[in-house]
Each structure stands twice: as C-alpha cells, then as structure tokens.
Amino acid sequence: VGIDTVKLSGEGFEAHVTSGQAVKQGELLLTFDLDYIKQHAASAVTPVIFTNVSEEDMKHIQMK
C-alpha cells in the first residue's frame, strides 16, 4: 500500500495473515492507517499490476 512504504518498517500497518499462509476469499489480510501513510510515505497511491491476463478477461472500472 503506497509508494516507498517499506521505509516505514511496518509502522502504520497491521498484517492479519503471515507469509505463505493459506487464505480464503473475504479474509482480512491487512489494515493500515491511511493518514499516517499520507504523512510519512512518498505517496499513498497503490499500483496494481496484472500479468498473464487477456484483454477479454479484464473488466474496466473507474473510481468515483
């Protein structure tokens, strides 16, 4: 979440699962303090990258 947030050393984030843990749809993975991230990180923008997805499988959405 955010850009360069690794520099925050976990501050402002709470993981609810561990690396390698099996998860189910709808399970809470992470909570974070957006205000803290906005104040201390380079950006709160979070890129999402999809690989190996065909154009017909993609759904285009817009933020409100």
- Using one digit for the tens of pLDDT, what is the confidence trace for 7-59? 999 999 999 999 999 999 999 999 999 999 999 999 999 988 888 888 888 77
Burial class of residue 47 (count of CB atoms within 10 Å of its CB; 0-12, 13-18, 19+): exposed
| Res 64 pLDDT > 80 | no
Q: What number of other Cβ atoms are within 10 A of residue 1's Cβ?
A: 14
Q: Which two tokens stand for residue 57?
A: 């499988």
**22-40 in b/e burial notation, b at 16+ Cβ within 10 A?**
eeeeeeeeeebeeebbeee
How does residue 60 score in pLDDT terms, banded at 50, 70 and 90? Answer: confident
Three-state DSSP string of 28-54:
CCEEECHHHHHHHCCECCCCCCCCCCC
